[in-house]
Amino acid sequence: MKDEPSERLDPRAKVVWRVSGALNMLPLLAGAGFASYVLLRWVEVSVFIGVLPLLGVLAMAVFSVIVVPGLRWRRWRYEIRPDEVDLQRGVWWVSRTLVPLARIQHVDTRQGPLQRRYGLSTVVFHTAAGANQIPELATPIAAEARDRIAALTREQDEL
């Protein structure tokens, strides 16, 4: 097994993850704001304790929006070899997954609204035991990867 797969995701992935991370944090922030409000207004704890929920969630949000996407992008690597697809991902829990092309049943590309805005796509490939994906590739590169996986899969079938 090589030390690391060769290809990286598109650098714009970080932007997409930041935006989607921020959007995901919104409800949590609202909840924490409400909790702080309740604590201050009705429970009447001191200001320092009352703002704790809000501050905590705010710190979490800053961390997950600013720090994590960078780390995540640096770790995420992939490589499509003639016999298998090699994926490496994870910020703290690092996982390395090898998917034999001979087991891939079909591939497709997907694009969410946010991804469309930044011209990114996700390649999803399915085996009989579930799906794997390479997220956030520039759309033309994703299309190329999809076609390459499909072609290689066919080749494996003919062997």
Partner 1 sequence: MNSEAEPLLRLHPAAMVIGALGTIRRSISATVIPGLVFLFSQGLSPWTIALVLAGLAVLAALAAVWGFLSWRATSYGVVGGSFRLRQGVFQKSERTIPLEHVQSVDTVQGIVQRAFGVYEVRVETAGGGTSEPDASLPALGRGATEDLRRGIEGARREPVGAERESGPEVLRRLSTRDLLVAGATSGQIGVALSLLAVGSQVFDEFFSEAFFRNLVDSLAPNALVLALILIPAVALVAWLLAIAGTVLAHFGFTLSREGDFLYIKRGLLERREATIPLRRIQAVRISEGFLRQPFGLASLRVESAGYGEDAGVSAVMFPLLPFDEVQALLREAAPEFAVSPALRELPRRALRRYVFRALIPALVLAAAGALVSFLVFEASFGLLAIGLLPPFALYGWLRFRDAGWALADDRLVVRSRSLARVTVVAPRRRLQSRSVLQSPFQRRLRLATFGTEVASGGGGSALEVTDLGFDDARYLAVALSARADGRREREGALP
By CB under 8 A, is residue 101 in contact with partner 1? yes
C-alpha 84/C-alpha 132 separation (Å) is 12
Tell me the two tokens of residue 91: 């910020």
Q: Counting contacts by CB under 8 A, is residue 75 touching partner 1?
A: no
Beta bridge partners of 149: none
Residue type, 103: R
- Asked if 102 is part of the footprint of partner 1 (rule: CB under 8 A), the reply reads yes
154 binds partner 1 (CB under 8 A): no
DSSP state of 42: I
- Judged by CB under 8 A, the residue of 111, 127, 133, 139 near partner 1 is 127
| CA gap 5, 77 in Å, rounded | 6
d(CA 100, CA 75): 21
Query: Does residue number 84 form part of the binding site for partner 1 (CB under 8 A)?
Result: yes
Looking at beta carbons only, is 36 or 153 nearer to partner 1? Answer: 153
Closest distance to partner 1 from the beta carbon of 122 (Å): 17
Min dist. Cβ of residue 51 to partner 1 (A) = 25
Say how many residues make up the chain: 159
Which chain residues interact with partner 1 by CB under 8 A? 1, 83-84, 90, 92-103, 105, 126-130, 132, 156, 159
